[in-house]
Structure 1
Amino acid sequence: MKDTNHTQSEERRVAEALEAMRKDAGDAFKLEAVNLAEMERRTGLSRSRLRRLKKNGFEFKPHANKGRKAKKTVLSGFTGALDDLLRKGVSNSSVILERLKELGYPGGLTVVKEYIARHKNLLPPKRQVVAPQGNRGRRYETPPGDSFQMDWGFTNVVASTGGTFQCACFVMTCHHCGACYVEFFPNAKQENLFIGMIHGFERLGVPAHVLTDNMKSVVLHRDLEGQPVWHSDYDAFMHTVGFQTKLCKPRHPFTKGKVERLVRFVKENFLAGRTFYNVTDLNRAALEWCDKQNGIFHRGSACVPNEVHGSECAQHLHLLDDSRELQGYLCPLRKISFDGFVNYEGRRFGVPYQYTGSFVRVMRKDAWLYIYSEDLLQLLVSHEVTWSKCDRFCKDQYAVPQQPEEFPTAPVKTQATMLPEDELDRSFEKFNFSKGADSDD
């Protein structure tokens, strides 16, 4: 479109210049004798450009290669992956460019945008738009380090075997600057909520308040005065870490809309077309993505989250204490089954059979799962973490421990004699009919 408008502008300027020169010269005007220097002054076109036009009688002809397409472009070899992303509903050109860069794409963003515009038919149909509800309130702001927002998001994961299972995504963001933290878990149980919050506090700090919705693992119900009745374990967790919780209205994004928008952004940007091997690989990529997003300018908050969080919010946040009570939340309690396994995150891991306790503490860190004794004083065994549902045996899981044995330290000179055992009474041998009758009888 830009080239077409530029050509039309040149045609108009040449036509106006020729018409003006025809009026000035009168009957003496000849097209083949037009002064190119005067045409250059009137039109602003180069002398070589005007010389080519004069040879064609100042007639603009289309370029010989117009309409022809190159057989090989910068997108050649990557269109299959791009089409696959479009069929999955990924239309964000920045996300598609990032995925193609991982595959070795050498081009830029403009080519990707043009390809998306020409192949919008591959995108799945959009959801039906409902009537807008209108403005239901006004967002409020908090001072630096006063409040964090947290929430759960869920996504479906296609396993390498072909099955599909659900994965939970814990997200936390600073209400003031928008610094974010994301971690994935196989489920959204309360123990995983505590682990995600502790990991988020380790990276962002501990605020005075945490905004959340009415989770089952946070609040049980409200009393007659409308005050929340906290879950006993969550209430103990709040006092251990040292923060307070504020509950937000359901379906009211003006209170905790930042974290709800973050959940949507994770689904549309981070998870779009994402492939991974195990939960460790996924969480490592999530941390890298969070560091990248925290280091760029956000138009919504008009700041770079890392800069504001480090200079303003960090002054009002307190660090997380590494206490024995806190380690108990990072290492949930598990009971050993009769066959020597503990169940953690839907998978079974073996425990040495010689361990005499009935309960253990389990913690997943990076690519390994560590099993401790109930008092956290002894590391029993470690397992590599995968998404596989197969039982993971530990080394010598059912081996009987070797008993200590004493051996003589001096030559043995004492000797004893063992007698043969007495023969059995054979008086009832004649009643043994299984041998059959003798041949002489």
Structure 2
Amino acid sequence: MSQEITQDILSQAVKDVIAKFGKMNLAELERMLHLSRQQLRHLQKNDFKLMPNGNTGKSKTTKISPFSEFINTEYLAKGIKNSSVIFDALRRQGYKGSHTSVKAYISKHLDLVPARRILAANTPNRGRRYVTEPGEMFQMDWGFVNVCDNYGNIWQCACFAMVCHHCGLRYVEFFPSAKQENLFIGMVHAFMVMGVPKTVLTDNMKSVVIKRLGDGTPVWNKEYEAFQTLIGFKTKLCKVAHPFTKGAVERLILYVKQNFIVGKTFTNITDLNNEARTWCYEKNNVITRSRDVVPMEEHYKHEAFSILPEIARLIPYLAPMRTISYDGYVNYENRIYGVPLCYSGKFVRVQRTGDVLKILTPDTHDELYAHHVNWSKKPNNCIGQWSLEPEEQPTQKVTSTLAFVPPRDTSRRFDRFSILKEDSFNDK
């Protein structure tokens, strides 16, 4: 019975129906009170008087009620809310009810479970602002963004971001993935624009550090350690699960997601990076309120940055190593590009600049072939890819020899026909 229906409302409705039809009409009463026909028939048996519920005043004792204190003190108060564990313990105490009743009791008394984390008293402030001098520190991080292309398709790419902690100069570049080879490319490109600092602050990513020893000393990734030695900077790692130590670059990635990407479409990675380069230039020429400087002006008026080594020493990091497959293809950024088949099985270096992908020799860095990247999943063949196919050699050494057979003398092979012709002429 609906709690909105009172005895006064019911009595007045019954009087109105009888006055209108001269007798009781349950259909009209149903429309007026919005009660079911079964409820109205039940009320009609009681002369339309609301009777109290049969369970009113009865004690609501269930099978689990005698064990409530045991559950509250021994399990819920100690943070244990696993229904299977509590059910097994209750069965040993003599409980005859079901597992479902235990689940229902736990869900109604979750307020007894203490919080998972209890804040200690006098906890010191974990976040403190700090400042650095020009050329002292850059902050670096990866972020992942969903980009919409001109056809409405959504694809995910990795956003490499680097910020000067002194003035807030920004650098953003996008890659298909966050592999270590893309990390090296992004860092070199950022250093070309911003200069080389004394220290780079970053996360504990596997492409930078493998693990930490017992005293906290980091064990660097071998490739990354060689890279920072070549460039001439040091790396400082953030505390684990402490992202606001490098809050400037974290805020930049959030700003990219909420400002740069929103409402825009891009054809491919090249188009995305061109737009990002323009966007960074515009934002770097606007005054930063937190620092009260224009990053572009503040950054380049100091000569506190180192310069990169010569480009020839950076090619191994700008052009990752690849192996040419047996059918003359090299895989780069999840797409395959053709190489003349005579280089099958050899090592090459692959470097993409914009929409041009160059395939270089591993040692001298000479160009073998250049592709125009069309960002299609279809294989990109090169001209004459199979025309220079080398002669296939036997897989095993040849041990047998062929004996020399002299050619047959065929100069007199038609003499027998001339002899037969002469004999037939003599017979005549």
Query: CA 1:145 to 1:393, structure 2 compared with 1: closer, same or farther past 3 Å?
Result: same
1:241 corresponds to which of 201, 224, 231: 231
Query: CA 1:402 to 1:310, structure 2 compared with 1: closer, same or farther past 3 Å?
Result: same
- Give the equivalent residue in structure 1 for 2:143: 153
Aligned partner letter, 1:272: V
Q: Does 1:344 align with 2:332?
A: yes
Q: Secondary structure at the match of 2:271?
A: helix
**Deviation of 1:321 (Å):** 1.3
- Give the equivalent residue in structure 1 for 2:313: 325
- Give the equivalent residue in structure 2 for 1:426: none
**Deviation of 1:401 (Å):** 6.6
| 292-301 vs 198-207, greater mean Cα deviation | 292-301
Report if aligned partners of 2:198, 2:233 keep a CA contact under 8 Å in 1. Answer: yes
- Equivalent positions of 1:81-100 (< 5 A) are none
Per-residue CA deviation, residues 226-263 of structure 1 (Å, 9 max, x unaligned), is 10000000000010100000001244344200000000
Report if aligned partners of 1:140, 1:254 keep a CA contact under 8 Å in 2. Answer: no
Query: Aligned pair count?
Result: 277
1:231 corresponds to which of 221, 232, 241: 221
1:171 corresponds to which of 142, 161, 164: 161
2:206 corresponds to which of 174, 196, 216: 216
- Give the equivalent residue in structure 2 for 1:364: 352
When normalised by structure 1's length, the TM-score is 0.59
When normalised by structure 2's length, the TM-score is 0.61
Runs of 5+ consecutive residues of structure 2 not aligned to the other structure:
1-122, 392-406, 414-428
Per-residue CA deviation, residues 359-411 of structure 1 (Å, 9 max, x unaligned), is 100001122010011214421111112332111101111112799xxxxxxxx
Q: Does 1:259 align with 2:249?
A: yes
Measured in 2, the distance between the counterparts of 1:250 and 1:192 equals 23
Aligned partner letter, 2:181: E
Q: Secondary structure at the match of 1:220?
A: strand
Aligned partner letter, 1:271: I
- Give the equivalent residue in structure 2 for 1:187: 177
**Deviation of 1:328 (Å):** 0.7
Report if aligned partners of 1:220, 1:231 keep a CA contact under 8 Å in 2. Answer: yes
Aligned partner letter, 2:173: E
Aligned partner letter, 1:347: R
Q: Secondary structure at the match of 1:154?
A: strand
Report if aligned partners of 2:358, 2:371 keep a CA contact under 8 Å in 1. Answer: yes
Measured in 2, the distance between the counterparts of 1:248 and 1:267 equals 23
Measured in 1, the distance between the counterparts of 2:390 and 2:214 equals 63
Measured in 2, the distance between the counterparts of 1:198 and 1:390 equals 30
- Give the equivalent residue in structure 2 for 1:197: 187
Report if aligned partners of 2:326, 2:345 keep a CA contact under 8 Å in 1. Answer: no
Query: CA 1:141 to 1:399, structure 2 compared with 1: closer, same or farther past 3 Å?
Result: same
Per-residue CA deviation, residues 29-58 of structure 1 (Å, 9 max, x unaligned), is xxxxxxxxxxxxxxxxxxxxxxxxxxxxxx
**Deviation of 1:354 (Å):** 2.4
| 260-269 vs 393-402, greater mean Cα deviation | 393-402
Q: Secondary structure at the match of 1:316?
A: coil
- Give the equivalent residue in structure 2 for 1:390: 378
Per-residue CA deviation, residues 294-316 of structure 1 (Å, 9 max, x unaligned), is 1111112111001100113xx11
Per-residue CA deviation, residues 101-126 of structure 1 (Å, 9 max, x unaligned), is xxxxxxxxxxxxxxxxxxxxxxxxxx
Q: Secondary structure at the match of 1:383?
A: strand
Measured in 1, the distance between the counterparts of 2:154 and 2:273 equals 19
Measured in 1, the distance between the counterparts of 2:412 and 2:285 equals 92
Measured in 2, the distance between the counterparts of 1:420 and 1:331 equals 66
| 379-388 vs 211-220, greater mean Cα deviation | 379-388
Report if aligned partners of 2:327, 2:344 keep a CA contact under 8 Å in 1. Answer: no
Aligned partner letter, 1:229: V
Aligned partner letter, 1:378: D
Q: Does 1:140 align with 2:113?
A: no
Report if aligned partners of 1:335, 1:360 keep a CA contact under 8 Å in 2. Answer: yes
Report if aligned partners of 1:279, 1:386 keep a CA contact under 8 Å in 2. Answer: no
Measured in 2, the distance between the counterparts of 1:342 and 1:362 equals 9
Aligned partner letter, 1:348: I
- Give the equivalent residue in structure 2 for 1:283: 273
Measured in 1, the distance between the counterparts of 2:312 and 2:259 equals 38
- Give the equivalent residue in structure 2 for 1:381: 369
- Give the equivalent residue in structure 2 for 1:106: none
Measured in 2, the distance between the counterparts of 1:384 and 1:270 equals 27
Query: CA 1:160 to 1:306, structure 2 compared with 1: closer, same or farther past 3 Å?
Result: closer
Report if aligned partners of 1:361, 1:376 keep a CA contact under 8 Å in 2. Answer: no
Query: CA 1:276 to 1:418, structure 2 compared with 1: closer, same or farther past 3 Å?
Result: farther
Q: Secondary structure at the match of 2:342?
A: coil
CA RMSD of aligned residues (A): 2.7
Runs of 5+ consecutive residues of structure 1 not aligned to the other structure:
1-132, 404-416, 424-441
Report if aligned partners of 1:352, 1:394 keep a CA contact under 8 Å in 2. Answer: yes
Report if aligned partners of 1:146, 1:209 keep a CA contact under 8 Å in 2. Answer: yes
Measured in 1, the distance between the counterparts of 2:283 and 2:408 equals 85
Measured in 1, the distance between the counterparts of 2:369 and 2:411 equals 50
Q: Secondary structure at the match of 1:183?
A: strand
Measured in 1, the distance between the counterparts of 2:412 and 2:253 equals 85
